[in-house]
Amino acid sequence: MDLRTLEEQLLGVRFDIHQADGQVLRLGHDGPVVNWHIHSGTTLHSLLKKPQRTLGSSYVRGDWDIDMRQLATLIQALIPANTSPGLLHKRPFLRRLLTHLPHVRQEAPQPRWRDFSLWLSRTCLGDEIFQGCGHYSEPGMSLEEAQRVRARHLIARLQLGPDLHLLDLDAGWGALPLYLAEHAGVRVTALVSNREQLRFAHSEARHRGLDGTVHFRLGGFYQCRGRFDRILGSGLLEHHPEPAYRVLFKRLETLLQDDGMIWLQVRGRSRETPLSNRWHQRQLPTRHSLPLLSDINSAVEHTGLRALQTEDLSGYLLRDLESQAQRYHGRRAAISQRFGETWTRHWEFLLASEIAALRWGQIRQYELLLGNTRCRWPASDPDRSGVGARLPLDIARKIPGLARDV
């Protein structure tokens, strides 16, 4: 790519490129101005040569600066959505082969701020520290309001009550299991990923008088024993390659009571527009952290589970991330002072990369509801009524207006 090619890609935005020698290059003809500050004479050339590989690492190093609110716009301009995806996306047999070759496994990514810091999680998510994708049922809702709607939606959709035992496979800081126990009376076993989360969740449970109802544990779901009426899993597939999905869902099936349900929030990818930002790709827990919905459905079909509902919440996730990025920007100086400039830049570029990928349609957010053969859903679900509740799932999905509810 050269400057002329970049200018042709600018739609509805202008670039003012402030170079290290003081010169300003102006590209584009209409729209808001993006001020891009380059700190060395060779940086611009190297960025234009392979932006999909170098843009993120150069920003984390501090080779250039931009207002965080314009960072996603810059990514969209320099890394076109139609960038060639490479063999991993096109050849499933190569994807499976590379999974088993240790010399091609990518290095461990940086910790996610959602799991890394209670203070930063509160800064970006609010005092209640809900994680997962919210439900924006009305215009103008805040992030906190959307998260509470999601929690109430779960209580109704999963028919939660005091006679049920729920397993949360990724409880984060414990906000969702504590809310469900407090408002639905359900018993909860919740898994967290680190000791800081465990200490905070235990403290919150004692403070709310729920330490006898909600039991937090450190570890993964393969260490779980017993059977549960409901299972929640946000981000469950991120740490597993596609060939392992069948084993994973069979394990979930063994943890589920005969009339139980599994609720999953899955961040997936699109077959038509694969992830073009290579820096973003390297930050994923595994090479295959963004599964195809077809791979998930295929794995479920080889178990005794059945798909009850599939919803696309990509628009909701985009609103979540934009709200988080806005809060991050508002406290950026404090974040940099606490964690250092390198991590601050890493996390803000990752947020902007996720926003850009969602705008392109390269990332999708799915909400899945699974049940086994004796599950009583949807007939007794108070959220469901009308023709969509009476039609077979494959027929109802084809009717305009029912796709989001079926």
Surface-to-core class of residue 66, CB atoms within 10 Å of its CB (0-12 exposed, 13-18 middle, 19+ buried): middle
**Residue (of 27, 22, 23, 29) closest to 1 by Cα position:** 27
- Give the model's confidence band at 385: pLDDT under 50 very low, under 70 low, under 90 confident, else very high: very low
Q: Cα separation of 95 and 90, whole Å?
A: 9
> In 274-285, which positions are buried (b, 16+ CB within 10 angstroms) versus exposed (e)?
bbbbbbbbebbe
Residue with more model confidence, 269 or 145: 145
Element at 357 (helix H, strand E): helix 341-360
Strand 165-168 to strand 187-192: parallel, antiparallel, or no bridges (unpaired)? parallel
Domain that holds residue 343: 102-375
**Rounded mean pLDDT of 64-90?**
75
Residues 189 and 47 in one domain: no
Residue 84, in any domain of the structure? no
Number of domains in the chain: 2
Q: What is the pLDDT of residue 147?
A: 94
Residue 43: CATH number of its domain:
3.30.1050
Q: How far is CA 392 from the centre of its chain?
A: 30
Residue 391, in any domain of the structure? no
**Rounded mean pLDDT of 330-342?**
95
Q: What is the pLDDT of residue 380?
A: 44
Are the CB atoms for 237 and 299 separated by under 8 Å?
Answer: no
Element at 399 (helix H, strand E): none
CA neighbours closer than 13 Å in the CB half-sphere of residue 299: 21
Residues 228 and 318 in one domain: yes
Range with the lowest mean pLDDT among 57-71, 75-89, 126-140, 323-337? 75-89
Residues 53 and 124 in one domain: no
Residue 386, in any domain of the structure? no
Residue 385, in any domain of the structure? no
Residues 155 and 298 in one domain: yes
Residues 68 and 177 in one domain: no
Please determine, for residue 307, whether its predicted confidence score (pLDDT) is greater than 80. Answer: yes
Please determine, for residue 391, whether its predicted confidence score (pLDDT) is greater than 50. Answer: no
Residue 332: CATH number of its domain:
3.40.50.150
**Residue (of 173, 71, 193) closest to 132 by Cα position:** 173
Residue 91, in any domain of the structure? no
Residues 259 and 309 in one domain: yes
Other beta carbons less than 10 A from residue 264's beta carbon: 21
Q: What is the pLDDT of residue 35?
A: 94
In this structure, what token pair is assigned to residue 86?
A: 């490479």
Handedness of CA 179, 182, 186, 189 (dihedral sign): positive
Residue 395, in any domain of the structure? no
pLDDT tens sequence across 218-275: 988 778 888 999 999 988 888 787 888 999 999 999 999 988 999 999 999 887 778 8
Q: What is the pLDDT of residue 85?
A: 45
**Residue (of 363, 362, 357) closest to 75 by Cα position:** 357
Q: What is the pLDDT of residue 396?
A: 43
What share of the chain in percent tops pLDDT 70?
85
The CA-based angle 402-405-406, given to 5 degrees, is 80
Q: What is the pLDDT of residue 86?
A: 45
Residues 59 and 116 in one domain: no
* Sequence-distant (≥ 6) Cβ neighbours of residue 151 within 8 angstroms: 130, 176, 179, 180, 183
Q: What is the pLDDT of residue 403?
A: 39
Q: What is the pLDDT of residue 404?
A: 39
Q: Among 79, 110, 132, which residue terminates a domain?
A: 79
Other beta carbons less than 10 A from residue 224's beta carbon: 19
pLDDT tens sequence across 344-378: 999 999 999 999 999 999 999 999 999 987 777 76
Residues 70 and 128 in one domain: no
Residue with more model confidence, 153 or 287: 153
Residue with more model confidence, 5 or 348: 348
Residues 56 and 164 in one domain: no
Q: What is the pLDDT of residue 83?
A: 54
Q: Cα separation of 131 and 170, whole Å?
A: 9
Query: What integer best gives the mean pLDDT of the chain?
Result: 84
Are the CB atoms for 342 and 57 separated by under 8 Å?
Answer: no
Q: What is the pLDDT of residue 62?
A: 95
CA Rg value for the chain: 22
Q: Amino acid letter at 204?
A: E
